[in-house]
Amino acid sequence: MGVNTVKIALIIPIYHQSGYIPIIIKGIEKQSVKPDIVYVMLDRPTNAEQIYIEEEVKKSQLNIKVFEVTEPPKYIGNIDTKELFLAPHVRNMGVNEALKDNCNMFVFIDGDCMPQSTLIESHVNAGNGNVPVLSVGRRREKEFRWKDRREYKAEFLHLKLFRKGNFIVNSTELLRSSLVVWSCNIALNLKALKLIRDFNYRYYNRKEVFSGEFVGKWGGEDSFLGAQAWYCRIFIVMLGNESSGIEHIDHPRPENKYNINHMEFFLKQLEVLRRKMAINPLNMDFFSEY
């Protein structure tokens, strides 16, 4: 399957980040391979934010669809979600829309990310074969001299996670180290996406990609996706192309939303999943249609 036969969805959750949309659109317009459809998923926007984004979208020749997500998923219960982060739910809503449009490649960046020129092309090239693939690109940050922290910080350097050519994560040590800051630049082909959705249905009774256990938490659903991909025998590929990443737009963090110990919660969810799999392990029949 070549690039021209892939129908590419680029899914972008926006949570009070409307001011970045013009430069994000410009970055998408400069892609060496453009997405077929861009899904801008607005997480509980104000009227002003929604109007502004819709006006900016009209200026572009890209096929951009804007969706407003106003309610949290029902399974979250009677929790006051006014100040909660719903990124997993919003991303899953984007996936649902892309599936309706028969997309078969799903690329995810965040609403504070400037895509580099071959981001889409690199993900598509990694995932355009006949095996399930989850691909991961660089997240460049000012704090790390516009490198990814995994190619800057001493504890990651010896792993050489971003090598020339694409690199397959083939050990738990590499998986653990590569899980850092995934949400800003990842992609799934259709085979991988179906595996993850069936995996979550089996263990959580929800047909979703990003785990609903992280709805209301700030981050972590992306790294958890990596662990699930490992269990699903999905090929996890680190993209070597230096222009395949994003530049993170530096901005103040809403400290009032960092109300949990993220690593503690993430590890707790991993342990819960291990227990679920011990009771109800995967068998070869699970993979038969893939």
**List of domains in the chain:** 3-279 (3.90.550.10)
Query: For residues 105 and 187, what is the distance between their CA atoms, to the nearest angstrom?
Result: 7
User: How many residues comprise the chain?
Assistant: 290
Pair 121, 179: CB distance under 8 Å: no
Pair 119, 244: CB distance under 8 Å: yes
Per-residue pLDDT at 254: 58
The overall pTM is greater than 0.75: yes
Pair 188, 112: CB distance under 8 Å: no
Q: Which two tokens stand for residue 17?
A: 């980040």
Backbone angles phi, psi at 187, to 5 degrees: -150, 150
| Residues in CB range of 221: below 8 A, 6 or more apart | 87, 88, 91, 183, 210, 211, 213, 214
Per-residue pLDDT at 50: 93
Averages of pLDDT over runs of 10 residues in the chain (290 residues) are 78 92 96 98 93 95 95 77 80 97 97 94 95 95 91 92 90 89 86 97 96 85 94 95 90 57 86 96 87
Residue spans of alpha helices (H) in 152-189: 154-157, 172-178
Backbone angles phi, psi at 270, to 5 degrees: -60, -40
